[in-house]
Amino acid sequence: MAMRACQITKRQEPQLLDTLAAAYAEVGRFDEAIKTTQEFSALAVLAHDTNMMDIARQRLELYQAGKPYRDEQ
């Protein structure tokens, strides 16, 4: 579903890219998670959204370490 949502929005919605990256990481596709997070980060930079830039940085660190993101509240 995340892949389809990103296709529909032409990969221009940072939150959807974040979701897609998390899905990739969850199934061990870390290279794709990293690439997608870099896209997410670039959009955050263009929007001057420091919160999203921080989130992208944190997620990138996880994926580069071979760990999935899990929202455990």
Alpha-carbon distance of 24 to 14, in angstroms, equals 15
Query: pLDDT digits over 17-44, tens only?
Result: 999 999 999 999 999 999 999 999 999 9
Query: pLDDT digits over 43-58, tens only?
Result: 999 999 999 999 999 9
14 belongs to a structural domain? yes
The whole domain housing 33 covers 2-64
6 belongs to a structural domain? yes
Alpha-carbon distance of 22 to 33, in angstroms, equals 7
The pLDDT score that the predictor gives to residue 27 is 97
73 belongs to a structural domain? no
Please give the angle made by the CA atoms of 68, 69 and 73, to the nearest 5 degrees.
140
Which pLDDT band, with edges at 50, 70 and 90, does 73 fall under? very low
Question: For the chain, what is the domain count?
Answer: 1
pTM of the model: 0.91
29 belongs to a structural domain? yes
pLDDT over 70 at 62, yes or no: yes
72 belongs to a structural domain? no
